[in-house]
């Protein structure tokens, strides 16, 4: 094969992203790149569904990107900044001593929990219970309406 395997790219990504991905030169060690695409497509169908639903929402792109980053625990929470070499107090600015990582900042903090409890989504989120934010994202996408998913994303953005 001399180029990108088109089928997985077109199955997972939007058309506008196809051209961007295809413009990336393949490395001389291409076989590992091809395997990674196949693994992520075949083993994460729930995740693909989540992404498709997220990108199909009517929320601003910057919010979608924020939600994508939150899903991957890649928001600039204090633990993340410290991991990047920034000298910073790791405690949560809302509640104090616990280390503020993405999970705490967007889900576990008492100050954030009050926000979630004040949304119309709370009855559904309460059924989900604990677990990482990424699983909560998958739960909302699978068990709630498109409107609820949009509210969920906007709340994640506003926290
Ligand atoms: Zn906190």
pLDDT single digits (tens) 68-125: 999 999 999 999 999 999 999 999 999 988 899 999 999 999 999 999 999 988 988 8
Q: How many domains in the chain?
A: 2
Asked if 114 and 72 sit in the same domain, the reply is yes
What confidence tier does 36 reach under pLDDT thresholds 50, 70, 90? very low
Asked if 64 and 92 sit in the same domain, the reply is yes
Q: How far is residue 5's CA from residue 9's CA, in Å, rounded to a whole number?
A: 7
- In angstroms, what is the span from residue 100 Cα to ligand 1's centroid? 7
Give yes or no for residue 62 having a pLDDT over 70. yes
Looking at residue 145, the DSSP 8-state letter turns out to be: -
Quote the distance between the C-alpha of residue 117 and its chain's center. 21
What confidence tier does 49 reach under pLDDT thresholds 50, 70, 90? confident
- In angstroms, what is the span from residue 109 Cα to ligand 1's centroid? 4
Give pLDDT tens digits for 63-84: 999 999 999 999 999 999 999 9
- In angstroms, what is the span from residue 70 Cα to ligand 1's centroid? 16
Asked if 10 and 83 sit in the same domain, the reply is no
Asked if 137 and 80 sit in the same domain, the reply is yes
- Name the more confident of 133 and 129: 133
- In angstroms, what is the span from residue 61 Cα to ligand 1's centroid? 27
Asked if 62 and 129 sit in the same domain, the reply is yes
Asked if 16 and 49 sit in the same domain, the reply is no
Tokens of 154: 């906007």
Give the residue numbers spanning the domain of 1.
1-43
């Amino acid at each position: 094969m001399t180029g990108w395997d088109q089928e997985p790219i077109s199955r997972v990504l939007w058309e506008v992203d196809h051209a961007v991905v295809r413009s990336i030169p393949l490395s001389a060690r291409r076989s590992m790149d091809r395997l990674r695409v196949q693994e992520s497509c075949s083993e994460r169908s729930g995740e693909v569904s989540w992404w498709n639903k997220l990108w199909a929402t009517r929320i601003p792109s910057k919010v979608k990107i924020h939600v994508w980053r939150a899903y991957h625990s890649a928001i600039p929470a204090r633990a993340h900044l410290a991991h990047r070499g920034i000298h910073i107090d790791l405690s949560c600015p809302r509640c104090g001593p616990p280390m503020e990582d993405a999970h705490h900042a967007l889900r576990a903090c008492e100050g954030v929990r009050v926000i979630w409890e004040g949304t119309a989504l709370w009855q559904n989120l309460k059924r989900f219970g604990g677990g990482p934010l990424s699983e909560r994202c998958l739960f909302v996408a699978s068990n709630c309406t498109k409107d609820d998913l949009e509210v969920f994303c906007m709340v994640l953005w506003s926290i």
